[in-house]
Structure formats: C-alpha cells, structure tokens
Chain A
C-alpha cells in the first residue's frame, strides 16, 4: 500500500512569506502528526490531528498552524516566515485512535525541505 506522501519535497521561500505543506497519510490512518527537524534542535513536535481535530500541540508560535480534512489528509501552514524556520518538516501517520491501538508506531513521510532566504 502507498506510504505517507508529503508535497512538495523541496521549497524555497523568502522571509515574510507564508507556506503550506501537505501530507497524505496511509489509507486507514486517522492520526497525523507533524515534526520539525533541524540539526541543532532535533525532532520537535508541532501538532497532532485526529479526525479533523487537533489533539496535541507542541511549543511553537502561533505562526505555525495546521488542519486535517475529512479524508485524513493534513496541511500545515507557516505564516510570516523567518530564517529560523528553515528545516525538514516531517509528517507521520498512525493508526492511533484510542489506548487499544497505542502500540502502533508512526509511519513517516520523506519530508518537505523548507529553505527560507
């Protein structure tokens, strides 16, 4: 079956612009999480969506937002881009929905490499 698909793979934006990244989870997965990966900070949790609702949120400013659609596809948006937003943004989907399936891990997409200039 198809894996987690993230588009676009690479993106170059200018400071002050906004950007939207897309993630299509594995079919049947209703949980989608987003992570920011930078060399200095490692993997930083952004947010998690399940059934179109944001369930968890990391410590990122309000410029970072997301949403999930009824088909479980998710988008994240970053407004007023800063140089420090340059990173690999990873999306991960999971069967997670309740405690009974908590033993399922993530399946990650290949990420979107965002460069802010």
Chain B
C-alpha cells in the first residue's frame, strides 16, 4: 500500500541555520514525490517535485530535496532558514505506474526562531 511518513510533528530551528524536514515513503511502483507548504488558513502551495533524473531537486524559496531510493526518503532541506519559512510542510507521493491519488504525510510544523 502507498503511504508517506513524516516522523516529526514539529521542527524548530534558529534563523540562519540549515533546516531539514524528513519524509519517507512506500509505493509499489515508481514514486513521484512532492513537497507542499501551507500557511495559516490557506491552501497548500507547491514547493518542488521529484519525477526522475537528478536525485537533488531544487524548488521554490531556496528549498531543495534529495531523493534516496535505497532509504525510500525524500527529505526537504534549506541551507539557511528564514523566519518566513515558518509554516506547515507536507510530503506527498504518487505512484507513477498507476497514477492515482496522492498520498500525503501528516505534516510537519516548522518554526524558525529569530
């Protein structure tokens, strides 16, 4: 069965420090992986995706993510956190073979401390 796990409900990081938001997935076919960010009372905004090719994917607002097939992970990273990065982050997977619904993680609340 397809699933996504975000093991941390909450991540706190000091402004200027690197941040990592973790995501692992389980999918039977080829994984298509996505990161979304949600600000209060808003919908989810697309950050980046991995479909194929280079394992390091660069996205919006300086975020990047690394696809690791052996560890079935797709962790979100940023070299230097900003206070404005504080939000709720969701990882999602879609099975590239069947192409059906998205499976979302439970979300990780990121707080960047000034």
Contacts and interface: CB of A to CB of B under 8 A. Distances in A.
A68 B49 CA distance: 27
A75 interface: no
Given A42-B107, A43-B90, A43-B107, A107 B99 contact: no
B27 to A, nearest CB: 12
Contact of B104 (A6, A43, A102): A43
Given A102-B32, A103-B49, A103-B96, A108 B104 contact: no
B45 A108 contact: yes
Given A103-B32, A105-B46, A42 B106 contact: yes
A63 B34 CA distance: 31
Contacts of B36: 106, 108
Interface string B43-59: 11110010100000000
Contacts of A33: 101-102
Contacts, number: 63
B98 to A, nearest CB: 8
B101 to A, nearest CB: 5
| Secondary structure class of chain A's binding surface, majority of residues | strand
B43 A111 contact: yes
B22 interface: no
Interface string A23-41: 0000000000101000000
A92 B102 CA distance: 11
A106 to B, nearest CB: 6
Nearest to A4: B43
A98 B99 contact: yes
19 contacts: A35-B104, A42-B104, A42-B106, A42-B107, A43-B90, A45-B101, A55-B100, A56-B100, A99-B97, A99-B98, A99-B99, A102-B94, A102-B96, A105-B46, A105-B49, A106-B34, A106-B44, A110-B42, A110-B43
Give me the 3 closest cross-chain CB pairs, A-B, nearest first: A108-B43, A102-B99, A103-B51
Interface of B: 32, 34, 36, 41-46, 49, 51, 90, 92, 94, 96-107
